Amino acid sequence: MSTNFKLKKREQPKPEPPQEMSGSSMLIQALAREGVDVIFGYPGGAILPTYDEIYKTGIRHILARHEQGAIHAAEGYARVSGKPGVCVVTSGPGATNVVTGIADAMIDSLPLVVITGQVATTLIGTDAFQEADMIGITMPITKHSYQVRTIEDLPRIIKEAFHIATTGRPGPVLIDLPKDISLTTGLFNYDKEVHLPGYQPTVMPNRLQIRKLVEAVSQAKKPVILAGAGVLHGHAAQELLNMLSNNKFQSSIHCLDSEAFRRIMNYI
């Protein structure tokens, strides 16, 4: 006896209908949707609307005693957790105090989303009190920098920022948030897919470059390996250990306080 079975299509979760809320509420809701559970920051006038919303959520806030401490703490969080670190500071001197940490995260390939307060959009470019051109300052030391000019763009910008920070070679992304955008209300729609035709990071290695590397190593009499954080970020500690065990390398290890490098150093 044969029986015909009809497979039911798996129902996809329906996207949530857009809700009207303020820009600061959108920001905190988006952070929660991105899985952010801790924020590092220092409050100030231009970013206070966002801080009012932080207290309404379950996201933990670590209050630093200086903005530079907050950005370096976010770096440390990203380094040990593998998740993007989030730093929130105010405009002007509060924003410029995080520049060193942003540059450091760029060099070390650490995923950060840095949110800086900014003066109202009507005052941008007028040398207003505590105004700083954070886009111009951070453009060379970030993967991308955004300045929110309309409430409609805010959900898209936040989603793109996390996507850019965590894909390809990780790095910092800055969101400059004017105070009036934080207070303006709009529809929060966070279900749209990220579409960035100009950002398609290369994740596959270049075979020609690998072949050249193999040839150079095979011809070297005393090859030296300089290994550092890239091995950890790429989860390649075991592969490095295998290479050291199968070949006679003189290794110079840039040591980090991690179990992976302790194993390698013990072998050496």
Contact of 113 with 84, CB cutoff 8 Å: yes
> Could you give the CA distance from residue 28 to residue 177 in angstroms, rounded to a whole number?
13
Contact of 175 with 155, CB cutoff 8 Å: no
> Could you give the CA distance from residue 142 to residue 169 in angstroms, rounded to a whole number?
12
Q: For position 240, what pLDDT does the model report?
A: 82
CATH class of 19-188: alpha beta
Q: What is the chain's alpha carbon radius of gyration, rounded to the nearest angstrom? A: 23
Distance linking the first and last C-alpha atoms of the chain: 68
Contact of 170 with 112, CB cutoff 8 Å: no
What are the boundaries of each domain within the chain? 19-188, 207-267
Query: Which residue's structure tokens are 């955008």?
Result: 181
Give the pair of three-digit tokens for residue 228.
Answer: 């550092």
Q: For position 144, what pLDDT does the model report?
A: 97
Q: pLDDT truncated to tens, each residue of the chain (268 aa)? A: 444 544 444 455 566 678 899 999 999 999 999 999 999 999 999 999 999 999 888 899 999 999 999 999 999 999 889 899 999 999 999 999 999 999 999 999 999 999 999 999 999 999 999 999 999 999 999 999 999 999 999 999 999 999 999 999 999 999 999 999 999 999 999 998 999 999 999 888 899 999 998 898 888 887 777 777 777 777 788 888 887 776 666 655 555 555 555 555 555 5
Q: For position 50, what pLDDT does the model report?
A: 95
> Could you give the CA distance from residue 163 to residue 177 in angstroms, rounded to a whole number?
18
pTM: 0.83
> Could you give the CA distance from residue 98 to residue 117 in angstroms, rounded to a whole number?
12
